């Protein structure tokens, strides 16, 4: 006889372990070997032959098992003149789980003594059954309390993890780094083999944290399968555990289970996928596939994953809005510089060229993408303060006298004041205010020297000087390339940062290309930007009249 065939191997192993332990305890208590029967079906729980009780499968025992299981009470009976049958009920929670039976030699023989013996045995069995049940209840309560404590700690750890992720998220920094940080945290708390982000609309490369258990093309294929199932089930998240009928089982046999969350913002949609619950403590070595094969994702795992999915979606939204804002600022900035160019026709395109040249210098000096962005905007706006300088000075064809020069120098502080209240542009202020400082301390407005001058300003100073010398001004002709280069070399280490001038000569050819493109193309690009934004700047109108 066998127990129900639908029981999983793990559950069967657990039941047999329990029965083995009970058989030892009962044998010690009653001095005889017991056989165990499933309380619901009456079927015998198979044990190794050496562990089985001799003569346990008796017709009288079968009847006694049925009665004991039905009543939840221990029973005794006469097998023959010399032997008694014992039936002890073992509970799991509120329900009988097993009935253990045994054959015992009677000491009372026949007559009234035999009845008293059976009654005493029944009471002994019942007392022992009650003790086992009480122990079971205590163990269950303790186990539930421990599980609750584990879940509470997990929830608390997750909150702390989320808090840390949010604190370290820098929207203006590299988008991929932010997203990877979230995936890494989620993987740790989920104890998953792999966590990945698969963007679907617009399609893009997947981000994978953990063991790369899928090829890039397979990541997309799995996300497509998940998406189809989710649409069919009208769900935004799914939890699937080992199941031979799972949609991926044939294509991806290495995947045992998956949690999937749909993440979307505006026109960006994709799936966050956690693959293969590993079931080991965070930071511990991963179990082998065999050890983890019965470890499922549970509802609590989905609950842990949910806030990370929400954070990821928030990151998508914040990143998009940041990019929108940045695009708007760039557009406004270029409109402002176009207005400045229109105020002094002799410097048309100067700000645009300075921005591009400064970018080249920044790249040559190994600056990061976000720093280059600040350099570009700083180049566009470095002379914005000239809007506040009288036309008579700004457009004067002769050399400025001392008083006019002092007024002209005010353009750096005027520019600073114009931009000071624009929070997103605060990073550019050092470039605007200090781009006329000199490393020997003889510049203005504060006479800063050396590295006390912000790097952005030192880079802008070289770009500004190069473009100014290379182009005609109302008070002089443009200088020849040789004259410009000689001036820069002579001024390296006194007027300009020698390291920036060295960078200039390393990328001299690329910078010369920027200069040769001329004013028309620079302004043409500014016009294109304005037209794309559906606006017509004042500068455009002014230029059209020339």
**List of residues contacting Fe ion (CB under 5 A):** 383
* Closer CB to Fe ion, 38 or 383, in the complex: 383
Q: How far is the CB of 411 from Fe ion (least distance, A)?
A: 6
Select from 216, 209, 214 the least CA-distant residue to 192: 209
* Closer CB to Fe ion, 121 or 412, in the complex: 412
Q: How far is the CB of 358 from Fe ion (least distance, A)?
A: 13
* Closer CB to Fe ion, 301 or 383, in the complex: 383
Select from 274, 177, 271, 181 the least CA-distant residue to 226: 271
Count Cβ atoms below 10 Å from residue 306 Cβ, excluding itself: 16
Task: Please say whether the beta carbons of 79 and 87 come within 8 A.
Answer: no
Output the six-digit token pair for 356.
């591009």
* Closer CB to Fe ion, 191 or 383, in the complex: 383
Q: How far is the CB of 438 from Fe ion (least distance, A)?
A: 13
Output the six-digit token pair for 461.
């100073």
Q: How far is the CB of 386 from Fe ion (least distance, A)?
A: 7
State phi, psi for 44 to the nearest 5 degrees. -75, 140
Residue-wise burial string across 121-140, b where 16 or more C-beta atoms lie within 10 A, e elsewhere: bbebbbebbeebbeeeeeee
Helix H, strand E, coil C: the string for 180-202 is HHHHHHHHHHHCEEEEEEEEEEC
Output the six-digit token pair for 514.
């920027």
Helices (H), 299-395: 299-343, 350-364, 369-381, 391-394
Q: How far is the CB of 388 from Fe ion (least distance, A)?
A: 13
Select from 370, 339, 369, 341 the least CA-distant residue to 354: 341
Cα gap 376→367, rounded to integer Å: 12
Q: How far is the CB of 179 from Fe ion (least distance, A)?
A: 40
Task: Please say whether the beta carbons of 80 and 105 come within 8 A.
Answer: no
Treating both helix axes as pointing N-terminal to C-terminal, what angle do 498-506 and 508-532 enclose, rounded to 10 degrees? Answer: 90
Q: How far is the CB of 334 from Fe ion (least distance, A)?
A: 18
CA angle 417, 422, 424 (to 5 degrees): 135
Is the preceding peptide bond at 475 cis, omega within 30 degrees of 0? no
Q: How far is the CB of 531 from Fe ion (least distance, A)?
A: 29
* Closer CB to Fe ion, 209 or 383, in the complex: 383
Residues 6+ apart with CB under 8 A from 50: none
State phi, psi for 46 to the nearest 5 degrees. -70, 135
Q: How far is the CB of 435 from Fe ion (least distance, A)?
A: 6
* Closer CB to Fe ion, 374 or 383, in the complex: 383
Q: How far is the CB of 436 from Fe ion (least distance, A)?
A: 6
* Closer CB to Fe ion, 44 or 344, in the complex: 344
Q: How far is the CB of 414 from Fe ion (least distance, A)?
A: 11
In what order do the strands lie in the sheet containing 207-210? 207-210, 192-201, 268-277, 258-265, 237-240
* Closer CB to Fe ion, 226 or 460, in the complex: 460
* Closer CB to Fe ion, 362 or 431, in the complex: 431
Q: How far is the CB of 346 from Fe ion (least distance, A)?
A: 14
Q: How far is the CB of 496 from Fe ion (least distance, A)?
A: 14
Residues 6+ apart with CB under 8 A from 107: 117
Task: Kindly list the distances between the CA atom of residue 74 and the CA atoms of 23, 25, 105, 125, 330, in Å, as whole numbers in the listed order.
Answer: 16, 17, 18, 6, 85
Task: Please say whether the beta carbons of 170 and 318 come within 8 A.
Answer: no
Cα gap 256→289, rounded to integer Å: 9
In total, the chain counts a number of residues equal to 546
Position with the least CB separation from Fe ion: 383
Cα gap 23→32, rounded to integer Å: 9
């Amino acid at each position: 006889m066998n127990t129900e065939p639908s029981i999983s191997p793990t559950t069967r192993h657990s039941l047999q372990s329990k029965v083995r332990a009970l058989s030892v305890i009962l044998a010690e208590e009653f001095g005889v070997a017991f056989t165990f029967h499933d309380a619901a079906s009456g079927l015998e729980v198979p044990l190794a032959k050496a562990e089985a009780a001799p003569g346990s499968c008796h017709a009288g025992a079968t009847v006694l098992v049925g009665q004991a299981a039905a009543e939840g009470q221990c029973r005794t009976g006469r097998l023959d003149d010399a032997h008694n049958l014992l039936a002890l009920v073992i509970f799991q929670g509120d329900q009988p789980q097993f009935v253990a039976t045994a054959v015992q030699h009677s000491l009372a023989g026949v007559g009234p003594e035999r009845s008293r013996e059976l009654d005493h045995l029944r009471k002994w069995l019942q007392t022992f059954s009650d003790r086992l049940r009480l122990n079971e209840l205590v163990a269950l309560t303790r186990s539930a309390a421990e599980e609750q404590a584990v879940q509470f700690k997990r929830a608390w750890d997750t909150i702390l993890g989320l808090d840390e992720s949010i604190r370290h998220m820098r929207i203006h920094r590299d988008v991929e780094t932010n997203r990877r940080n979230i995936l890494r945290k989620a993987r740790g708390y989920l104890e998953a083999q792999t966590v990945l982000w698969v963007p679907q609309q617009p399609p893009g490369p997947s981000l994978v944290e953990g063991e790369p258990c899928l090829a890039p093309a397979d990541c997309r294929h799995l996300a497509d399968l998940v998406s189809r199932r989710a649409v069919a089930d009208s769900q935004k998240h799914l939890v699937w555990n080992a199941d031979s009928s799972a949609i991926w089982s044939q294509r991806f046999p290495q995947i045992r289970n998956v949690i999937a969350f749909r993440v979307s913002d505006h026109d960006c949609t994709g799936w966050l996928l956690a693959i293969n619950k590993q079931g080991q403590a965070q930071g511990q070595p991963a179990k082998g596939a065999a050890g983890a094969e019965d470890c499922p994702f549970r509802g609590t795992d989905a609950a842990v994953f949910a806030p990370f999915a929400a954070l990821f979606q928030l990151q998508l939204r914040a990143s998009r809005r940041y990019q929108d804002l940045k695009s708007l600022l760039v557009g406004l900035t270029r409109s402002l510089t176009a207005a400045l160019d229109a105020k002094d026709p002799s410097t048309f395109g100067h700000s645009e060229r300075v921005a591009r040249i400064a970018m080249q210098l920044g790249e040559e000096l190994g600056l990061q993408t976000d720093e280059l962005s600040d350099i570009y905007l700083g180049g566009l706006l470095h002379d914005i303060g000239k809007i506040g300088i009288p036309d008579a000075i700004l457009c004067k064809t002769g050399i400025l006298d001392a008083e006019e020069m002092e007024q002209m120098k005010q353009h750096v502080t005027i520019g600073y004041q114009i931009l000071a209240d624009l929070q997103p542009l605060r990073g550019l202020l050092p470039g605007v205010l200090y781009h006329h400082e000199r490393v020997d301390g003889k510049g203005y407005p504060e006479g800063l020297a050396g590295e006390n001058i912000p790097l952005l300003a030192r880079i802008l100073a070289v770009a500004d000087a190069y473009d100014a010398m290379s182009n005609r001004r109302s008070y002089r002709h443009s200088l020849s390339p040789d004259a410009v280069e000689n001036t820069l070399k002579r001024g390296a280490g006194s007027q300009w940062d020698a390291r920036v001038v060295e960078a200039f000569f390393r990328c001299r050819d690329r910078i010369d290309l920027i200069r040769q493109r001329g004013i028309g193309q620079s302004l043409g690009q500014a016009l294109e930007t304005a037209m794309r934004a559906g606006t017509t700047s004042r500068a455009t109108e002014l230029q059209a009249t020339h």
